[in-house]
Amino acid sequence: MLMNLGPADIIAVEMSPAGEAQYGASLIGRVELPPGNALHITPPSRNPCMNDLRIRWSDGRTEERAREDFCQPQRVLRLSTPAN
């Protein structure tokens, strides 16, 4: 589950196996996730448990999160707009 707790829309969530910096297509497709909303995301079936994420915000900012474990049950990512 991905929760947008920030003031800007999330426009992309990209995933790469941890440490590889080979980000694929956005996990949310062409959907924008407005503030205060949540979306269930499913990683591609062949991805390892540990992944790096790159989140793109509608205001042009990006946030990178290293080594997120997607094998944990009921995983919830709470995202807010990163600081400048």
Round to whole Å and give the CA distance between 39 and 18.
22
Round to whole Å and give the CA distance between 2 and 80.
11
Is 82 part of any domain? no
Give the range of the structural domain holding residue 43, as residue numbers without chain letter: 2-71
Structure-derived torsion over alpha carbons of residues 29, 57, 61, 6, reported in degrees to the nearest 10: -150
Is 55 part of any domain? yes
pLDDT class of 15 with cuts at 50, 70, 90: very high
Beta strand 10-17 with 50-57 is: antiparallel
Is 80 part of any domain? no
- Total domains in the chain come to 1
Q: How far is CA 76 from the centre of its chain?
A: 11
pLDDT at position 84: 46
Give the predicted TM-score (pTM) of the model: 0.81
Residue 75 has pLDDT above 90, yes or no: no
Is 34 part of any domain? yes
Mean pLDDT of the chain: 87
Is 43 part of any domain? yes
Span 34-72, pLDDT tens digits: 999 998 887 777 778 899 999 999 999 999 999 988 888
